[in-house]
Structure 1
Amino acid sequence: MKLRYSDIKKLENFLEKIKSDTYPEPPTSLHTNITKKVIDYFFKKFSLPPQAKILDIGCGQGVALEIFAAQGYHPIGITLNSEDVAVCQQKGYEVYEMDQSFLDFENETFDLIWCRHCLEHSIFPYFTLNEIYRVTKPQGYLYVEVPAPETSCQHQSNRNHYSVLGKQMWLELIKRAGFKIADTIDIDFTVPAGPDTYWAMIQQK
């Protein structure tokens, strides 16, 4: 299928339209604690080469970037929110305003792609996963974490959640993109609204 210029313009217009759905992501105790725990979990089971290059997709205001940098790795962050970009850059991190579905990096650039609570913001996650696969090095890793649908938090109702899918659908799309599933984790917790669940999936190229 070859896209016509008019089709490309339609896509550009739609992406521009939903750009206003983004919002700043200042750190919260819940997400900071989960981030620390899952990063610790990852490095207890998997290893990266010294000074590995890590891409943090949807980096927010730099919680994971700080942890990766402290461990001697070379993290790069991307986000669509200009305020988050500014905050991260003020902290000295290499962060760009960039869409996860259109990565401006060379093929096979990163040893680890960290994609925590970002794929649900994609309007076409299968395409996004193929783009992530492209920039992952051979034998490199991908960490994906997404919210489960229909919990007390009703994540599917979030204004910029476009793909709150079932767990098996996520795993199927990840495999179709070319990754091998290495581990899965159910993250269960309770918030004022009630019980909630995040699904974490670790895979290797």
Structure 2
Amino acid sequence: MRDYTRLDNFLNERLKDIYPEPFGEPAISIMTQTVPKLMQDYNIPSGAKILDVGCGHGFALNLFKEAGLNPVGIGFGEEAEKCRQNGFEIIETDMSFTDVPDESFDVIWCRHVLEHSLFPFFTLSEMHRLLKVGGVFYMEVPAPETACAHETNQNHYSVLTKNGWLSLLHRTGFVDVKMYDINFSVPAGDDTYHAYSTIRPA
């Protein structure tokens, strides 16, 4: 029998690392392009149930709703309350340890949250569990060693290479992975996000 007391204490300490993410560009422009692209690439039907992991201010939730989907968010604190006030269902839970039943969602949207996982292989396994067979998974993560130095951010624990993430997706059981880079410039210099879309096979 394993004793997880030290892990629990460590995870509780990491709560102190969390800080509110600023919202604005380039996130708005990127999501405005990637949400319709995902829906078109996978022919996602109206009414599909989608989980937005780390829903933040709710911008993507609104895009999903406007596209005819049924969005649910994972979020915390004031941002979660704001999303609730706007009529969205919000679950306040650790993304790696949800109490949500297996195969609950047709689509999982996981934009800029996996770099905050202490154990991304485990977190990806949780995403796989929550996704219906044949469901679509989208993830977007910051690339390491850009001008923005994402690996140095206070609560970025897993800023991996493009192929490192690809390997974890395959190990988790996802198939037909499509990946591309999102390149842009900010005041600090050139930056890159790695984007992946994939499905849970039968």
Shared fold, TM over 0.5: yes
1:163 aligned residue: 158
Q: 5+ unaligned residues in a row in structure 2: which ranges?
A: none
Matched, 1:137 2:136: no
Matched, 1:187 2:185: no
Of the three residues 35, 42, 66, the one matched with 1:39 is 35
The separation in 2 between residues aligned to 1:86 and 1:43, in whole angstroms, is 27
The separation in 1 between residues aligned to 2:173 and 2:88, in whole angstroms, is 30
The separation in 1 between residues aligned to 2:16 and 2:114, in whole angstroms, is 17
Amino acid at match of 2:91: Y
2:18 aligned residue: 22
Q: Please report how far the alpha carbon of residue 43 of structure 1 lies from its aligned counterpart in structure 2 after TM superposition.
A: 1.7
The separation in 2 between residues aligned to 1:155 and 1:175, in whole angstroms, is 24
1:49 aligned residue: 45
1:202 aligned residue: 197
Q: Please report how far the alpha carbon of residue 26 of structure 1 lies from its aligned counterpart in structure 2 after TM superposition.
A: 4.7
2:100 aligned residue: 105
Q: Deviations over 1:52-71 (max 9, x none)?
A: 11000011110110010111
Q: Please report how far the alpha carbon of residue 163 of structure 1 lies from its aligned counterpart in structure 2 after TM superposition.
A: 0.2
Amino acid at match of 1:60: G
Q: Secondary structure of 2:170's partner?
A: helix
Amino acid at match of 1:42: L
The separation in 2 between residues aligned to 1:154 and 1:167, in whole angstroms, is 15
Q: Spell out structure 1 runs of 4+ moving beyond 4 A.
A: none
Q: 5+ unaligned residues in a row in structure 1: which ranges?
A: none
Matched-pair contact (CA < 8 Å) for 1:149–1:164? yes
The separation in 2 between residues aligned to 1:166 and 1:134, in whole angstroms, is 24
Among all aligned residue pairs of Structure 1 and Structure 2, give the percentage whose two residues are the same amino acid. 47
